[in-house]
A and B are shown apart, each in its own frame.
Chain A
């Protein structure tokens, strides 16, 4: 079983540009909808939040949980996806 999903691999392969928030690993339709309702409609906005939280895992996971109710796995997937993207492109 691969540790990263197909979604993760696709996301970290290229600059995110205008990709929607649902393109992030761990963020599906439901979570994406909640994030969008709070103003995080694009992946780069979530990236902005990730960076403002200094790329700290605990802070970002807590924030994600509070904002859209992500469970532990979803938090982990999203964090690792963004982290890897930053490692490559930031």
Chain B
């Protein structure tokens, strides 16, 4: 298996069948192509095998991350009845896990209570561990950087990379609410003027 070029044509053919690669006969001109294909698939397999082990550790950190994520929707649900989906959408943006969005929405939206979300998130993310094994290593640098940030954020309450965006979003929300209020109040005054003009 280590040296494909030393294998016979028959052995290459059987390997191609093993990996379910569509192929023709292994002849002089096709041999190099099939060797390359087998190398690609074998290296992909190795990558998947390597991703499994570190991601299993990282899923543990991921669970800790979810605890820091969920303050986001909790804060949004308290003041105004924002729907869960935009908050969760922002959650998804931070976590960068769009394939898992459907599972989150389906399981999280029925109950909006935060402790329920916490426990469910752990269940979701434990299953997502298996998904993460299959997926490529792109999320893993994100998880390592965000995991360390979330841990430090958890230990120290006020300052952390998570809370800065939280405050900013809160501020934006307040500005938006203030803007709406301003529009509302401004709508009150014109009718008065209108009445005055009529009189």
Main secondary structure of the interface of A (DSSP, over half): helix
In contact, B36 and A49 (Cβ under 8 angstroms): no
Binding site for A on B (CB under 8 A): 22-25, 27, 29-30, 32-33, 36-37
A-B contact count (CB 8 A): 28
Residues in A whose Cβ lies below 8 Å from that of B24 = 52-54, 56, 59
Tell me how far the C-beta of A79 lies from the nearest C-beta in chain B, rounded to whole angstroms.
14
Residues in B whose Cβ lies below 8 Å from that of A10 = none
Residues in B whose Cβ lies below 8 Å from that of A18 = none
With A62-B37, A66-B36 as known contacts, state yes or no: A56 contacts B29, CB within 8 Å: no
With A59-B22, A59-B23 as known contacts, state yes or no: A52 contacts B33, CB within 8 Å: no
| 10 more A-B residue pairs beyond the given contacts A53-B30, A59-B24, A62-B36, with a C-beta to C-beta distance below 8 A | A49-B29, A52-B27, A54-B23, A54-B24, A58-B22, A62-B33, A63-B30, A63-B33, A66-B32, A66-B33
Residues in B whose Cβ lies below 8 Å from that of A59 = 22-24, 33
